[in-house]
Chain A
């Protein structure tokens, strides 16, 4: 970009106001690398300053305007040219003119809506970033800074269990049950498989978590299936009346919340796949969708009002967590005394 600038050039640096205190979240980029980015929630203000540092201290920098943008966009890998921007905010920092020395410009995007979670997938990417631009006649100078957005939910009011009887007529009848239909990302799937009829020779049974990313609409819909987890729950042949327990901790797996029809562009859904394998390696399976959601962490006073409202439902739980610990301490002391 600056190969032919015999004149002046500059470097742009974007610094957030709360860079010291704001939490960072890990996110895997398209090429599989894990990086840390500043974490934001819906409704939070994004503010800071940009430092424009002149490369050659003596010369002036002529420009057609300096601005900063906050962008939220969806990029489909098979259609890279078209970025679908669902959030686009601009702040003009300087009118066309010239810079005689390095300068700093403050910016603030107040209470920005960030309706969707940052996502990097197999065929689609949703990202939020700040882009500071010094416009020039021939080539602009710009700097992007990606941020990560998490969408939080609270414990759903309605969270029925999933219970179903399935099978093959006269061969295999099972009743499976999962304790909830909606799980948060650090939750535990507690369930059971009850055998009603077993006329085949089962060797083992496992439960898989499958992530399905769907992109595109109408005739050109792409589904990408990815098996996130395989967890054996039974080894050996069961008989009628046996009940096999399931206890699957989700915190160990890299998953995102369920995303349905995001901006009408893509979906990310999760399925539990119960698989029974017989002595001849024949597989019998039953897939069931579950909803995953992200639970907020402990409340912070610095959060915006929207995030605070969402997190307020956790205030009660935060205090009960400490009281549970107290009880544990008392009980363990009693047992030692005995």
Chain B
């Protein structure tokens, strides 16, 4: 090999990109919406549920479009399962707001519209950050949370890949 004195900085050869790859839909489409809060029940037995809709083209998810209803404690369950079974750093959930659950408040407490909206935004951020994590996508609890009608708390934890 002859000694180059001025370095050759020309680009390395690469395959031209297939146009369907360049202009087609990307392979990383994943969007989860948390919306439509509904407060169910009466008096002290009330709780709020949210619709969780996932749209994706990732092959790891069985359904490409799924809708389920979840409440705050379901999100907590998911966080605990992942913290126990996987090595990932789970993103934070919006607060538990225990103070809002105390009696003798001037407002609606945890059923206050502004609080529900704040929580909805936090839950949406939480689930989007989590679902995009390659290691979280291996956990059965995530798939059950997103795509099964209801969460079976007696399920067998494990990996699905």
The stretch of B20-28, B45-53, B74-82 in contact with A is B20-28
B103: Cβ under 8 A from any A Cβ:
no
A187 touches B1 (CB 8 A): no
- For the complex formed, measure the closest distance between the CB of B94 and the CB atoms of chain A, giving whole angstroms: 17
A201 touches B132 (CB 8 A): yes
Task: Mark A158-188 against chain B: 1 for CB-CB distance below 8 A, else 0.
Answer: 0100000000111110000101000000011
* Contact A245/B28 with A324-B5, A324-B6 known, Cβ cut-off 8 Å: no
B9 touches A188 (CB 8 A): yes
A191 touches B132 (CB 8 A): no
Cβ-neighbour of B21 out of A241, A278, A279 (below 8 A): A241
A239 touches B21 (CB 8 A): yes
A116: Cβ under 8 A from any B Cβ:
no
Q: Which residue of B lies closest to A202 (CB)?
A: B28
* Contact A194/B7 with A169-B161, A239-B26 known, Cβ cut-off 8 Å: no
Interface set, chain A 213-265, CB cutoff 8 A to B: 237, 239-243, 245, 247
Seen from chain B, the residues whose Cβ lies within 8 Å of a Cβ on chain A are 1, 3-12, 14-15, 17-18, 21-22, 24, 26-28, 30, 58-60, 91, 129, 132-134, 137, 161
Cβ-neighbour of A190 out of B6, B11, B18, B59 (below 8 A): B11
B17 touches A242 (CB 8 A): yes
B21 touches A194 (CB 8 A): no
Provide the main secondary structure of the chain B interface.
loop
A282 touches B133 (CB 8 A): yes
Q: Which residue of A lies closest to B16 (CB)?
A: A241
A280 touches B12 (CB 8 A): no
A107: Cβ under 8 A from any B Cβ:
no
- For the complex formed, measure the closest distance between the CB of A303 and the CB atoms of chain B, giving whole angstroms: 18
Residues of B contacting A127 with CB < 8 Å? none
Cβ-neighbour of B17 out of A171, A201, A241 (below 8 A): A241
Residues of A contacting B21 with CB < 8 Å? 239-242
Residues of B contacting A170 with CB < 8 Å? 59-60, 161
- For the complex formed, measure the closest distance between the CB of A179 and the CB atoms of chain B, giving whole angstroms: 6
Residues of A contacting B9 with CB < 8 Å? 188, 190, 247
* Contact A194/B5 with A168-B134, A170-B60, A170-B161 known, Cβ cut-off 8 Å: no
Q: Which residue of B lies closest to A188 (CB)?
A: B7
- For the complex formed, measure the closest distance between the CB of B38 and the CB atoms of chain A, giving whole angstroms: 29
Q: Which residue of A lies closest to B59 (CB)?
A: A170
Taken together as a complex, chains A and B put the C-alpha atoms of A194 and B14 apart, in Å, by 8
State which size class the interface on A falls in.
Answer: 35 or more
- For the complex formed, measure the closest distance between the CB of B146 and the CB atoms of chain A, giving whole angstroms: 16
Interface set, chain A 24-65, CB cutoff 8 A to B: none
A83: Cβ under 8 A from any B Cβ:
no
B3 touches A198 (CB 8 A): no
- For the complex formed, measure the closest distance between the CB of B70 and the CB atoms of chain A, giving whole angstroms: 21
Which residue, of A169, A191, A197, A240, has the highest number of chain B Cβ atoms within 10 A? Answer: A240
Cβ-neighbour of A243 out of B4, B14, B59, B129 (below 8 A): B14
* Contact A240/B3 with A190-B8, A190-B12 known, Cβ cut-off 8 Å: no
Cβ-neighbour of B134 out of A159, A188, A200, A242 (below 8 A): A200
Q: Could you give 5 example pairs across A and B, Cβ below 8 Å?
A: A170-B161, A190-B12, A237-B26, A279-B132, A320-B3
A198 touches B28 (CB 8 A): yes
Taken together as a complex, chains A and B put the C-alpha atoms of A188 and B27 apart, in Å, by 33
A171 touches B7 (CB 8 A): no
Cβ-neighbour of A239 out of B3, B22, B137 (below 8 A): B22
- For the complex formed, measure the closest distance between the CB of A104 and the CB atoms of chain B, giving whole angstroms: 44
Q: Which residue of B lies closest to A250 (CB)?
A: B7
Taken together as a complex, chains A and B put the C-alpha atoms of A179 and B7 apart, in Å, by 11
A314: Cβ under 8 A from any B Cβ:
yes
Q: Which residue of A lies closest to B128 (CB)?
A: A280
* Contact A316/B28 with A190-B11, A280-B129 known, Cβ cut-off 8 Å: no
- For the complex formed, measure the closest distance between the CB of A235 and the CB atoms of chain B, giving whole angstroms: 16
Cβ-neighbour of A198 out of B6, B8, B26 (below 8 A): B26
Q: Which residue of B lies closest to A178 (CB)?
A: B12
Q: Which residue of B lies closest to A193 (CB)?
A: B14
- For the complex formed, measure the closest distance between the CB of A10 and the CB atoms of chain B, giving whole angstroms: 51
Cβ-neighbour of A200 out of B22, B28, B129 (below 8 A): B28
Taken together as a complex, chains A and B put the C-alpha atoms of A199 and B11 apart, in Å, by 26
- For the complex formed, measure the closest distance between the CB of B116 and the CB atoms of chain A, giving whole angstroms: 25
Task: Mark A320-336 against chain B: 1 for CB-CB distance below 8 A, else 0.
Answer: 11001000000000000
- For the complex formed, measure the closest distance between the CB of B2 and the CB atoms of chain A, giving whole angstroms: 8
Q: Which residue of B lies closest to A280 (CB)?
A: B129
